[in-house]
Structure 1
Amino acid sequence: MEKFELHILGCGSALPTMRHQATSQVVNVREKLFMIDCGEGTQVQLRRSRLKFSRLNHIFISHLHGDHCFGLIGLISTFGMLERTADLHIYSHPDLVNLLQTQIDYFCKGMSYQVLFHPFDPKAQMVIYDDRSVSVETIPLRHRMPTCGFLFREKPTLNHIRRDMIDFYHIPIWMINRIKEGEDFITEEGKTIPNSWLTIPSAPPRIYAYCSDTAYCPRIIEQIHGADLLYHEATFADSDLVRAKQTQHSTARQAAQIACDAQVKRLVIGHFSARYEDEKQLLLEAQEIFPHTVLAQENLQLTI
């Protein structure tokens, strides 16, 4: 099975603490790295993760609150000092272009690579990235400013050809990929061997959904339905529901309800408020609704 991993770099909320870094994570799809959000300290966490800087070419910013984007200029500057040459693509609300370009022009003159911006409307559901391995689409959310999550859909892989059939029918190397793509095989005697005899279906494509920051938002359920892994913010405990509504964030119980209703396979909760010394109460609240829940933590790696 091809690699599809989630690396948590930071899972705290806006107020810095000694326990958590600001929000950021990296999705590894077949050794291509995609960053989601880039709070302060992200580049240090990226070092600790031992992920290769050179394989990170795309950054997706959910919204323009500082704990989700204040780390961008530092990361861009570091890439310049490393003499990066590959373009860096940033996908975000259109306002980020003006906010960040001024800093790049002032602090990062003469860089050896280009930063390319791809603005999108966070209020609209749309595909904003697509290649042979994965597509990324926006998930419109409910927050105090235009905000979206991101849905990573893996592309189907080719069927697997059976080694015993290659040997039995003496299938030449040049035919192997064609058979993986669905062709039958015709022997030297003219007999047609059905493709279904020769191949094993590949694993179903996987889906990862990222939802932070947002108030309880049931309209996303249809879009994320059946995801293999859901990251959903759980800033507050249920006892702080009033505060969650005021700030348009979610409680752990609400995150779990979304996961349950969307019939996802696993849930990881994060974006924890600084008021909690121990997030175990958030985990227990979520697990009452959705048992397959884990707490996000720095340097946590999850295979999807």
Structure 2
Amino acid sequence: MKFEILILGNSSATPMYDRHPTAQVLNFNEQLFLIDCGEGTQMQLHKYGVKSNKINHIFISHLHGDHYLGLVGLVSSMNLHGRRSDLHLYGPKPLKEILDLQLLHSDTRLQFNLIFHPTNNEETEVIFSNKTIKITSFPLKHRVPTTGFRFDEGKRANVLIIDKVKSLEVPLVFYNVLKAGMDCTDIDGTVYRAEELTLPGPPSRSYAFCSDTRAFESYVTAIHGVDLLYHESTFLHEFVDRAIETCHSTCLEAAQVANQVGAKKLLLGHYSARYKDLSPLLLEAKSEFVNSELSFEGNWYKI
């Protein structure tokens, strides 16, 4: 089952050096989720071959422009392209007012339902859940109300013991039922027991997105044990005073968080415009957390 993240933008504040403001697409078994929507997001979607009308859920972390100014254009284009299916939008409560005002004064009449879900920057909440994935928001520490998002895969299907299944000539129609952990009985009364014919499935996977934030204790529990952690790493640690002033994190601090929560991998992003060469940021993070990697626009990262 596919579970991967596409980086559309990883620059902080302003576009710079062909880096765009924050936006990501998470593909979970061909369900597409958009995380943040900075300026130029719809152009990045087009550039990397992602059809915007396949996105049914959009998550906005906070209301600084580099994280949401592409939203009005994207929603308007979805409408122009004939979208009819519901679009779910998750973000700070004032985002609804911003969108309503833009649509009102442009006389834009959406031909689809835009369903708004206000996020809570005071406590952790499950904001979406079905049989295959659970999405949780959690508070971050920034200059305006901000949340991160965690995506947890549901229980993965059991694995068939192929030799046993073939030797018993189990009907193909029973395969998925057995993998779901349920016994099957054929028309002759033969019982095929899931516990005898399957092994436990692979561990469930998880992804956490920590946009603009100071590194601090409160969100550690929310991202504990995550497989892939995207954490803003705006500055090198020599500028930690600037990071504190602007409520951002350094690469070293992001790596310390990854260590603390037991993440399997750290993906760096939200780079300051002061850095054209990103290699020093990676070196700093790796000094604390070896399995660190720079995010690059256009790259898919498997979870």
Structural mapping, 1:66-145, within 5 Å: 66-107=65-106, 109-145=108-144
Whole-angstrom CA distance in 1 between matches of 2:275 and 2:154: 39
Match of 2:30 in 1: 31
Q: Offset at 1:216?
A: 1.3
CA distance in 2: counterparts of 1:193 and 1:115, whole angstroms = 46
One-letter identity of the residue aligned with 1:278: D
The 3 A distance-change label for structure 1 pair 193 and 132 is closer
Structure 1: segments with no counterpart, 5+ residues: none
Bigger shift: 31-40 or 214-223? 214-223
Q: What stretches of structure 2 of length at least 5 have no aligned partner?
A: none
Asked if 2 retains the 8 angstrom alpha-carbon contact of 1:225 and 1:263, the reply is yes
Q: Which residue of 1 aligns with 2:59?
A: 60
Q: How many residues align?
A: 303
Query: Which residue identity does 1:203 align to in structure 2?
Result: P
Paired residues for 1:260-271 under 5 Å: 260-271=259-270
In the alignment, is the contact (CA less than 8 A) between 2:61 and 2:146 conserved in 1? Answer: yes
What amino acid is the match of 1:83? G
Same amino acid, percent of matched pairs: 41
Residues 149-180 of structure 1, C-alpha deviations (whole Å, 9 max, x = no match) = 00000111221223333332232344333322
Partner residue in 1 for 2:147: 148
- SS of match in other structure, 2:122: coil
Deviations 1:71-104 (A, max 9, x none): 0001011111111111111101111111111112
* Alpha-carbon distance in 2 for matches of 1:105, 1:131: 33
1:58–1:89 Cα contact (<8 Å) kept: yes
Q: Please, which moves more after superposition, 243-252 or 158-167? A: 158-167
Distance 1:18 1:107, change over 3 A: farther
Report the CA distance between 1:185 and its aligned residue: 5.4
Listed as ranges, the matches of 1:284-303 within 5 Å are 284-303=283-302
Aligned residue type for 1:52? K
Q: Quote how far apart the aligned CAs of 1:193 are.
A: 5.7
Contact kept, 8 Å, 2:119 with 2:137, in 1: the verdict is no
Counterpart Cα distance in 2 of 1:189 and 1:60: 51
- Which residue pairs with 1:12 in the alignment? 11
Question: Separation in 2 of the partners of 1:289 and 1:119?
Answer: 36
Distance 1:270 1:199 in 2: 41
Residue 108 to residue 295, structure 1, CA distance change in 2 (3 Å): farther
CA distance in 1 between counterparts of 2:59 and 2:141 reads 18
Q: Verify the 8 A CA contact 1:77 1:107 in the aligned structure 2.
A: no
Q: Which amino acid aligns with 2:76?
A: S
- Name the aligned partner's letter for residue 3 of structure 1: K
Deviation at 1:14, TM superposition (A): 0.7
Q: Match for residue 276 of structure 1?
A: 275
Give the Å deviation of 1:109: 2.2
Q: Deviations over 1:6-49 (max 9, x none)?
A: 00000001133233100000100010000110000000111112
Q: CA deviation at 1:105?
A: 2.4
Shift of 1:187: 8.1
TM-score by length of 1: 0.94
Distance in 2, Cα, partners of 1:59 & 1:108: 23
TM-score between both structures, scaled by the size of structure 2? 0.94
Q: 1:169 to 1:216 in 2, by over 3 A?
A: same
SS at structure 2 position matched to 1:67: helix
